[in-house]
Structure 1
Amino acid sequence: MSYSALAPIPGFVSVYKDAVNKYFTDIFTKLPHNTQRAYVSDFNEFAIFCEQENLEGFNDSMPNNEDCIKRYVEVLCQSPLAYRTIKRRLSALSKFLGIAQLPNPIVHSVYLKDFVKLSLAQNEKYQLSSHQAVPLTLDILEKINNNVIPDTLLEMRDLALINLMFDGLLRADEVVRIRLEHINKRNNALLVITSKSDQAGKGSYRYISNSTIAMIDEYINEANFNKTKEHEREMDDPRRINKGILFRRVSNRGHALLPYDESKAGKSSPILEYSSIYRIWKRIGNLADIKENITPHSGRVGGAVSLAENGATLPEMQLAGGWNSPEMPGHYGQQAAVGKGGMSKLSKNYGR
């Protein structure tokens, strides 16, 4: 890893190369692999923002850096990103400013600190009041699979992705890094090599159903067939899936993958961003006429709730979702048990 990971922001490389390189060489490479990945991902998201807004990025001017971060916070708070994710991204930027020895308004500007605090508080209230994701339980998933009959590559990809997220109780940042070689069809096993609960980077195995495998096969077969020429794509065709990232970007018309280049980063990266996963869930929800507010986290929560509803033990739930402790699966188990509790029985007995 080197400062080149931050290349999309002009000033980062040309002016502050030495300070950034020194940190990467002496410290960054010794951090846990997932921590390194998270920092680079957050830096690149900021780089994309600067490019889209025609901003230079950080320099040695406090007013410039303050304005840049303020505008970034405004965009983040309008996005579907979680409160904790926004806080983490700002923390990563603050870390970089310290590494590059640049004026840091996140720490030293009273104006910016208050602006960020109020913006995040409003964002959290907004999400809690009207955008709580509901669990994608098995009955909702079956409704999706019955109602959505995919006739484009885009819909095949989206449907396979949602089913895989349910099976493996996957987070958005896990599903975007699934590679074709991570799927073991014989054992119905999926290797998840990135997880925020897996700081050692060892990876964990999750279950993948036969129906989801069939959906993935259909998606791959459709991607590898050139409809224009009416034959299968050549093995070296950059739009073909032979290996590597499974869920890739699709052309505007939804009938072909965009050319794949694993070496690229930023907007040309084959890895989907969270916003893309969010749109996939919304798009499929609309196609299936799902009234509930399902989001990328619905699959993980819904998978856990469905397991609890069908009698899975805490260790079984913990293994299925790759949790290090039984705390979260226990929470989802309580959620599933509400419908079987005393008040539920009382209401049923009296026809309420």
Structure 2
Amino acid sequence: MAGQVDERFDRQSQRAELLSVLARLPDDQRKELIAEYRARSEAAFAPATIRNYRMIIRLFTQWCAERGLSSEPPIAPTTVAQWVDDMGGRLSSNTIETRLWGIAELHRSNFLPSPTRHRLVELALKSVKRRYGAMTRQAPPLGKAEVLQAISRLGSSRIELRDAAALWIATDTWCRASEIVAFRVKDIERQTDGSSLLCVARSKTDQYYRGAFAFLSESGTAAVLRWVEEAGLCDNDPILTKSQKGGLRTPLDPATLSRIIRRCVGRADVSAHSTRVGGVHDAFRLGCDLSSIMIAGRWSSPEMPARYGRRILASQSAAAAVSKAFEEQ
């Protein structure tokens, strides 16, 4: 333990020493270093991350302007703590932590110590969590049975064939919306039993193209291939694209995918993520173990699938089993 404390202390000391050296650099060298950091960030971060960062800085700058506070780094810890207080009750604790990441990144990009690590900010965040809770809102589940009912109501028009392919991919693969819309025809790998594997080249948790595979059932494969043939798609074309003849063969937006699912199932509360949650619920009901669920959803830790299935797990807990046993006596 002492070695761990010493190592952590050394890292903090080294970081503080580096920042002290950078602070003493001539202005022109410091500006060049900051410009290089920002250029490298553009290449290192996903476009969505960069957009989110810019939104956070824009919102924080606006918040400071309305209160006559400075938003220029270095930002005072008291200012950041006040911002956390103001967000409490309006935003989830996860969203607040993401916004604090933006403030920390702003300071890193200027080679300045981050005020988000100050004890005042840590206490403000703990206070918000204690007062409003830290539970994360979960997308409403959309199970296999409900999706299959929606598919059975679809006809054979171009848009319905496309929608059926979208629903099959969503319910079979348990993929995230960003992964679903990224699939291309060449990503389909046929199996001898009529099912397929879809190559997930990149995902939220795999930014370096290590790759993974998602399952697509025999019926799902047939529906996808019907749409591919109807639309005349080529190997490099996205599977899910516009349904109009002659339309640009560009991937659907994840928000559009969610709208398709809501329209097809007739529910306003679901999204493209709901089939991922629903798949976990179905798996727990069928008695699948957590490790197989993690493999199916390509999770690296059991935290998220366990969180998705906590309602189902509660009804399958030892307390539920004991209650049922005594009710049957």
Structure 1 counterpart of 2:199, which letter? L
Q: Does 1:158 align with 2:156?
A: no
Q: Residue type matched to 2:284 in 1?
A: A
One of 203, 215, 220 as aligned partner of 2:211: 203
CA RMSD, 1 decimal = 5.0
What's the counterpart of residue 135 of structure 1? Answer: 141
TM-score, scaled relative to structure 2: 0.60
* Letter aligned with residue 244 of structure 2: H
Q: What's the counterpart of residue 231 of structure 2?
A: 223
| Structure 2 counterpart SS, 1:176 | helix
Letter of the structure 2 residue corresponding to residue 137 of structure 1 = G
CA shift in 2, pair 1:242/1:99, >3 Å: same
In structure 2, what residue type is equivalent to 1:164? I
Unaligned runs of 5+ in 2: 1-30, 72-86, 117-127
1:302 to 274, 278, 287: 278
Report the alpha carbon displacement of residue 317 of structure 1 after superposing the two structures with TM: 0.9
1:171-218, Cα deviation, whole Å (9 max, x unpaired): 112212222222212262122122233355412112111111112112
Q: Does 1:272 align with 2:265?
A: no
Within 5 Å, give how 1:311-330 maps onto structure 2: 311-330=287-306
Note the 1:242-257 alignment, pairs <5 A. 242-248=235-241, 250=242, 254-256=243-245
After superposition, residues 11-26 of structure 1 pair within 5 angstroms as: 22-23=36-37
In structure 1, C-alpha distance between the alignment counterparts of 2:239 and 2:53, rounded to whole Å: 25
**Cα offset, 1:318, TM superposition:** 1.1
Q: Which residue of 2 aligns with 1:335?
A: 311
Which position in structure 2 is the counterpart of 1:213?
A: 221
Task: Provide, for residues 143-195 of structure 1, a one-character-per-residue CA deviation record: whole Å limited to 9, x for no partner.
Answer: 11222335232x32233222212211111122122222222122621221222
Is 2:184–2:235's contact at 8 Å kept on the other side of the alignment? no
**Is residue 157–residue 219 contact of structure 1 (8 Å, CA) maintained in 2?**
yes
Higher share in helix: 2
| Runs of 5+ consecutive residues of structure 1 not aligned to the other structure | 1-16, 50-56, 67-76, 107-117, 225-239, 261-269
Q: Where do residues 1-352 of structure 1 align in structure 2 (5 Å cutoff)?
A: 22-23=36-37, 29=43, 31=44, 36-37=45-46, 40-43=47-50, 84=94, 88=98, 91=101, 95=105, 99=109, 133-153=139-159, 155-186=160-191, 188-198=196-206, 200-224=208-232, 240-248=233-241, 250=242, 254-256=243-245, 258-260=247-249, 270-286=250-266, 290=267, 293-340=269-316, 341-342=320-321, 345=324
**Partner Cα distance (1:20, 1:219) in 2:** 49
Q: How much identity, in percent, do the aligned residues show?
A: 23
1: CA distance, partners of 2:92 / 2:238: 25
Higher RCO, Cα 8 Å, sep 6+: 1
Note closer, same or farther for the CA distance 1:209–1:273 as it changes in structure 2 (3 Å cut). same
Q: Secondary structure at the match of 1:320?
A: helix
Does the CA-based 8 Å contact 2:201-2:211 persist in structure 1? yes
Cα displacement (A) at 1:322 = 0.4
Contact 1:193 1:203 in 2 (8 A): yes
Q: Which residue of 2 aligns with 1:231?
A: none
Closer/same/farther in 2, CA of residues 206 and 347 from structure 1, 3 Å limit: farther
Contact conserved, 1:176 with 1:271, CA < 8 A, in 2? Answer: yes
Q: Distance in 1 between matches of 2:283 and 2:107?
A: 45
1:46–1:332 CA distance, 2 compared to 1 (3 A): closer
Q: Which residue identity lines up with residue 305 of structure 1 in the other structure?
A: H
CA distance in 1, matches of 2:288, 2:184: 28
On the 8 A contact 1:194/1:203 being kept in 2, the answer is yes
Q: Distance in 2 between matches of 1:330 and 1:23?
A: 38
Letter in 2 for 1:300: R
The 3 A distance-change label for structure 1 pair 88 and 218 is: farther
